[in-house]
Amino acid sequence: MILSDTDECPQCGHTFYQRRGSDVQPTTPQVRRGTTEVRVGCPHCGEMVRAGLVRCWNCNGFMKEEIAARYADLTTNPQKIIYSMIPLEDRTDYLPARAGQANDDSDGFTLADDVLSDSVQGSGFAQPATSASAPIADLSASPDRPQSTTPGGKGVIADALVSDSSSADKSAGTGDKPGAAAEKSADGASAKSGSGGTDDLFSIAMQEQREDRRRRNERQAERAKRQMLLPCKCGAWVRVTDEMAGKVVRCRQCRQPVQVPEIRRRVTEKKEESTVPKLEVTWVNDVWFHVLTPTSVVLKPGSAAAQHTEADIAITDTGVHIIAFESGEKKKKSLLSFGSSDKKQDRTAHRKQVRDQIAATGQLAGLTGCDVRSIGVDDIRSLKLVQPIVKVQESMFAGVPIFGEGRIAVFLPIAREQGQQAYCSFTISGWRILAARLKELFSLELPTAENGVPEAEKSDTHSCFVNQSKVECIRNVVYYQQDSGFELELSGFRCTACGAVVSEEGRKKNKLGGANGSGIAKAKCPKCSGKMGEEKLFRLKKAAEKPAAE
């Protein structure tokens, strides 16, 4: 690849543009046709480069040797950092003298004989005798140096340097006085201020001083925590520790003995947290639990409905648990007792007692008056839908709803004796709760929708042929008729002969089947003159409520 205005290829010598009037190729510097731009050859690769460029566009080499030398000098010799000095008259902030803190910070530290006490403190610092005459360097350009900033003053750092051991040895060998060595270290402070070793020693010494102060405060706080005050007869207070319990001490004021009593610290009793595990349970109420022998079942609708035990189902993350209530002794009915309200109240009280016991113990075992059968996670997949089944050849009971019309029945993988099998039958609202939890916890879905069980309430709208009003009827009405959680309302009738629909208002207006509609089955249809039959249409007035997990 070459430039578009190149006359000759620099690699193979091919000529792209022939000069007019001459076959001689132009020599460098070359002038481009139509322009006044001057080109020169690169001293490194020979490529033609526009005059005035610093580097060659082809090899990136410098076009001039003096520029290359200057660039090498800048890269090999970086610029030195220059530290400024604050004039003497502008120095306003100084660190306080530390001579008065030597006794507090020593903590048993002993100074060497060749170190002056007025210049070297217990922390290992060398400080000039007069702070006003000490040089203070403005080292703000150095990011590694600690600075001290006070309100109203400039950021400065004290010229306090750690004495060099080598200089002390030299001064001792030459016979110089320790004061002269200190003066020399103070005079050479500005020269040593740029060195990194002094700053490191300074930082280490400051850190050790802070650490010693922190430890001393901790010891004092621990000692004060263990100390107590006892009153003496003279009115003074005697300070003792828990280690002196049962001993005799003397008062420092009156020198009388004081008996230290036995000391018992008050132990704060912590309430033991409840160790009862929290059990999240989803309940399905009013379930029928059946134990049948398949060979002795009568294939008749509702034949197994009477052979059931009332039960509740507790669904947890560990499985499905059937809690069957044991039937107690039958109470004798009196002449004044009506209905089964007592039985319903007893069942409600028993159910509350069972759930309170589960909440208190966190277990489903050992419930009072109940038979608990559990299906673990490994056996959940063995649950099987037995009613309703659309395909008769796949049904266990030949498609006959032996558990009752409008109920959903499931086979339970519970071992029974003598060839018996366990089943549970549900209403539509109870089955929806169980199906939702089985899908959420165990990813199990039984084919109820494919076998005609409604997943949601759906209604159809018809027109009354008597008064042309809208008649709404819910689909699969038998499932909602068997569920006490739903409330239905009569909306009309359908003729079994012609399929015509008459609303309840139209029937009352024409007195079809009598005033209350009791004779609607034998009444003549106004449209086809045939018997109406007794096919009632209902609309949903109130839906069942969904219980929350306990």
Question: For 31-79, how does the pLDDT look when each residue is reduced to its tens digit (9 = 90+)?
Answer: 444 445 688 889 999 898 888 888 998 899 999 999 999 888 888 876 6
510: confidence class by pLDDT, cuts 50, 70, 90: confident
Q: Which helix (H) or strand (E) holds 434?
A: helix 428-442
What's the mean pLDDT in 134-141? 39
What was the pLDDT predicted at 525?
85
CA–CA separation, 353 and 326 (whole Å): 14
CA–CA separation, 160 and 139 (whole Å): 13
Of 87-96, 140-149, 506-515, where does the model show the most confidence? 506-515
What's the mean pLDDT in 317-338? 65
- pLDDT tens across 333-359, in order? 444 444 444 566 677 888 888 888 888
Give every CB contact of residue 132 below 8 A, 6+ residues apart in sequence: 94
Residue 141 CB neighbours (<10 A): 10
Burial of 161 (0-12, 13-18, 19+ CB in 10 A): buried
CA–CA separation, 95 and 104 (whole Å): 18
Q: Map out the domains of the chain as residue ranges.
A: 31-76, 85-213, 282-326+342-451, 459-542
pTM for the model stands at 0.49
CA–CA separation, 319 and 330 (whole Å): 33
**How high is the mean pLDDT of the chain?**
74
The yes-or-no verdict on residue 249 having pLDDT over 80 is yes
Give the residue, 48 or 21, on which the prediction is more confident.
48
What was the pLDDT predicted at 498?
86
Do residues 296 and 327 touch, judged by C-beta distance below 8 A? no
Tell me phi and psi for residue 271, to 5 degrees: -70, 125
CATH number assigned to the domain with residue range 282-326+342-451, chosen from the 4 options 3.20.20.70, 2.30.29.30, 1.20.810.10, 2.170.120.12: 2.30.29.30
CA–CA separation, 487 and 539 (whole Å): 9
What was the pLDDT predicted at 400?
92
CA–CA separation, 341 and 349 (whole Å): 12
CA-based end-to-end distance of the chain: 79
Do residues 297 and 282 touch, judged by C-beta distance below 8 A? no
Residue 531 CB neighbours (<10 A): 15
CA–CA separation, 260 and 246 (whole Å): 5
Identity of residue 104 = D
Strands 421-426 and 408-412, sheet pairing:
antiparallel
